[in-house]
Amino acid sequence: MGYVAVTGGEQAIAASLDLNELRRVEAGRSVAVEDILATMPDLVNQVQSEGSLWAPEIAAVAIKQACGSIEEAVFLMRAYRSTLERLYTSRVVDTDGMRAGRRISAAFKDIEGGQILGATRDYSHRLIEFELADETVSDARERAREIRARLSAPADADAAALLDRVPRVLTYLRSIDMVRDWPVDDTEPVDITKTPLSFPAPRSVILQALSRGLTQAVVAIGYAAIRGFGLSHPTVGELRRGTVAIEIDAPGASEGAAAEDAYYLGSIPVTEVESLIVSDEEDGDGGHRSALDVGYGLVMGDDESKAIAMSVLDHSLRADDVRFPTQDQEFVLYHIDGVEATGFISHLKLPHYVTFQSKLDSALRSAAEKGGEADA
């Protein structure tokens, strides 16, 4: 696939690019990259997630260049990422050590470590605050001061609220032998930014493709799987949102070096979901028993809907008996890639003069032949 390049009359293309840039600057105003980072973090996170590159400043520049078009900004991010040299491979990220600012379970009211509501729009009134149209920088600072005072929280409230480690809900379910065991896959993960998709795909490919897929597509197909076009109706066992550390081995270190010898590069925000789906499995006596399958989702940023939908599709795509499109790897993984989908749809705008003329001539001949038969 990869329909990305457009050719044509050189002067016409140059003028088209000038007109496009004029749309961005003709009002004589410009949004600072720092303002995009500060006021639109969810948009920045989505572009980074779908662009497979954690670089907030670059994502903000891409958003500015794309005039707010997410699909174009993601395209720019992936193109930029492809030019970067890869110097290191990080250690496996330990999400058990996540510094969580939000952690909830829909399966249990009381969980070890407690439910942490954190920041969420789930309980907000979806009413437009028209006063934001006239909000100034001083207004925003004053509002922040008032909210901190109302919460009786320090200026670094977000950092103070993060918990270094909270126990998993799944630990309890495993202790009572209610989680279905799946074969452990210890094969080397496949990097889909370097290797084309092929099927059947290993789970490492499935999880990568879902994590960086077009957010709205992952949510829509996950929703379809829940509505009845699939067999995955989950209960969110645990959803946690926070930051995880990224570390690399010290240069020259041997494989399996001690954790304290690793170099800490920084932390990135992620959202992790473990969904529970009731299923049947064989017991040791040749019969069947009910158990819980686990669907897994992890995305960069704070998009909880995408992480939940990803966990649903992770479970759907492990089905042995494919009965629905939402269980078909090729159907799901090809069609959630926003850059590929946009490129293919966009290529329909390119000249198709020869192929269309051939189709038209064929249709005209067929119509003429049928007309002749009718006259006879």
pLDDT in tens, 197-224: 888 999 999 999 999 999 999 999 999 9
For the ranges 17-26, 262-271, 286-295, which has the lowest average pLDDT?
A: 286-295
pTM, whole model, 2 decimals? 0.86
Among residues 281, 287, 283, the alpha carbon closest in space to that of 182 is found at 281
Strands 263-282 and 235-248: what pairing? antiparallel
Write the single-letter amino acid at 145: R
Residue 157 has pLDDT above 60, yes or no: no
In whole numbers, what is the pLDDT of the chain averaged over residues?
A: 86
Residue 2 has pLDDT above 60, yes or no: no
CA atoms within 13 A of residue 316's CA, in its CB half-sphere: 34
Task: Retrieve residue 5's tokens.
Answer: 């390049």
CA distances from 280 to 5, 185, 290, 335 (A): 49, 22, 5, 30
Residue 20 has pLDDT above 90, yes or no: no
Scanning 102-214, the segments in alpha helix (DSSP H) are 137-151, 157-161, 169-175, 203-211
CB atoms within 10 A of CB 317: 26
Residue 373 has pLDDT above 70, yes or no: no
pLDDT higher at 366 or 158: 366
pLDDT at res. 159: 47
Contact 215, 341 (CB under 8 A): no
pLDDT at res. 112: 87
Rounded-to-integer distance, Cα 220 and Cα 232, Å = 14
Percent of the chain with pLDDT over 90: 44
Residue 11 has pLDDT above 60, yes or no: yes
Write the single-letter amino acid at 368: A
pLDDT digits over 83-138, tens only?
Answer: 998 888 888 888 988 999 999 999 999 988 889 888 899 888 889 999 999 999 99
pLDDT digits over 29-84, tens only?
Answer: 889 999 999 999 999 999 999 999 999 999 999 999 999 999 999 999 999 999 99
pLDDT at res. 1: 47
Among residues 31, 18, 19, 26, the alpha carbon closest in space to that of 62 is found at 31
* Domain limits, the chain: 10-81, 95-121+163-336
Residue 161 has pLDDT above 70, yes or no: no
Task: Retrieve residue 342's tokens.
Answer: 């946009």
Cα angle value 13/84/250 (rounded, 5°): 170
Beta bridge partners of 279: 291
Among residues 340, 236, 241, the alpha carbon closest in space to that of 299 is found at 241
Per-residue pLDDT band for 375 (boundaries 50, 70, 90) equals low
pLDDT at res. 351: 85
pLDDT at res. 69: 92
pLDDT digits over 278-325, tens only?
Answer: 887 666 566 666 888 899 999 999 999 999 999 999 999 988 888 999
Contact 186, 171 (CB under 8 A): no
Residue 251 has pLDDT above 80, yes or no: no
Per-residue pLDDT band for 160 (boundaries 50, 70, 90) equals very low
CA atoms within 13 A of residue 255's CA, in its CB half-sphere: 1
Residue 248: phi and psi, rounded to 5, are -130, 155
Rounded-to-integer distance, Cα 32 and Cα 262, Å = 36
Q: What is the DSSP letter of 56?
A: H
Percent of the chain with pLDDT over 70: 89
